[in-house]
Structure 1
Amino acid sequence: MSSVDNHPERNVIRVQLAHNVVLKGMTAAQTMELETHLAVLDVQKGENLLNQGVHEMEQYFILDGVLKRVVTNQEGKEMILRFTDEGDFETSYAAWRLGTPTPYSIVSVTKARVAKLPMREWVGFLERHPGLKQSFEYYVMQEMSEIMAHTITLHLLDAPGRVKRFQRKHPELFDRVPKKELATYLNLSAETLSRLKQRGKI
């Protein structure tokens, strides 16, 4: 883990940050200010960035790779809430604002690189930049709405319909997410997903 300024690929990282959905509208001064708080972290496939049930939270900007948001019940059964890739972000901002522990884990689906900072510092940064705070909170609400829509479709759509919806909504992720992970997200068995593919239904 290193700061942006000390990282050997800092020029690439700065370009990636400039294209992030949340950060792309920032001024040069805002970018310089935020950089002082960021640490760049490389994570391996399957590595947890954030554990469910903790109060110590961080904000993540995805530079490379794919992450997933996962909730686990007491029996250890997992439900994947969303996938995110480069140019996007992961957060537990709502839990931080509510003063509650994180309701989910954030796990790397592939080898990945993120720029991160403690949630306390990110919230402080947002408070100093109200325009950015407004747009960030919009994205957080949008992602929560998408998770709700996905949960509803698990009950309303049949197996082929669920797969086709994912293809339509996230074509960039369809071939990047391991089929076992995608099957879990769509509440299908890996065998069913493979069978649908073989039959040409997806």
Structure 2
Amino acid sequence: MDRLVVSTDVYADPETVYEFLLEFPRYERYSEYLDSVERTGGDGGAGSRYAMRFSWWKLTYTAHSEVTDVDPPYRIDWRVVKDIDAHGAWQIDPLDSLPADAPADAESGCEVRFEVQFDAESADASAVSLPAMVSFGWVLDKVTPLVREEAERVVKRAVRDLEGRDRPVRLDVDTNSAEL
């Protein structure tokens, strides 16, 4: 199982960050490959389901995910419910003190971590309609490294919206895979 964790400091209180991250339909604004997000069930909390339409190259795919657990304002767990074994979480931990490089007007902060675990080999090849002469293995080889780029892009753009300003965002990236 491949694992990727992207974390950074956000200068907002945990409750604000949690409510912001719980609003999954907003994510389409942060991703280059996510065209739309539609809630297909639930109220946004545990048990809520989403259809997320991705497109890359000549391919489109709708991932179906579910919020599996929430611990307001500290954690949102999710999983993909068909076509691939994947799950993850947003973790929000209050900072004991603000770092020296925090913006001068920052009153509070938290460390935010996005974690995803997935088994690329579990992907259902029949879930994607491929052009002639294109193998599913080739697609997996090309898409897997994009997971890291997308996670970094989403976190940076979410920080900008949460804080209401552009600033250099330091990301800590941890993975157990040479392909990410």
Whether the TM-score (by the shorter chain) exceeds 0.5 is no
* TM-score, normalised with respect to structure 2: 0.27
Instruction: Answer 1 or 2: which has greater strand percent.
Output: 2
Which protein has greater RCO, CA pairs closer than 8 Å, 6+ apart? 2
* TM-score, normalised with respect to structure 1: 0.25
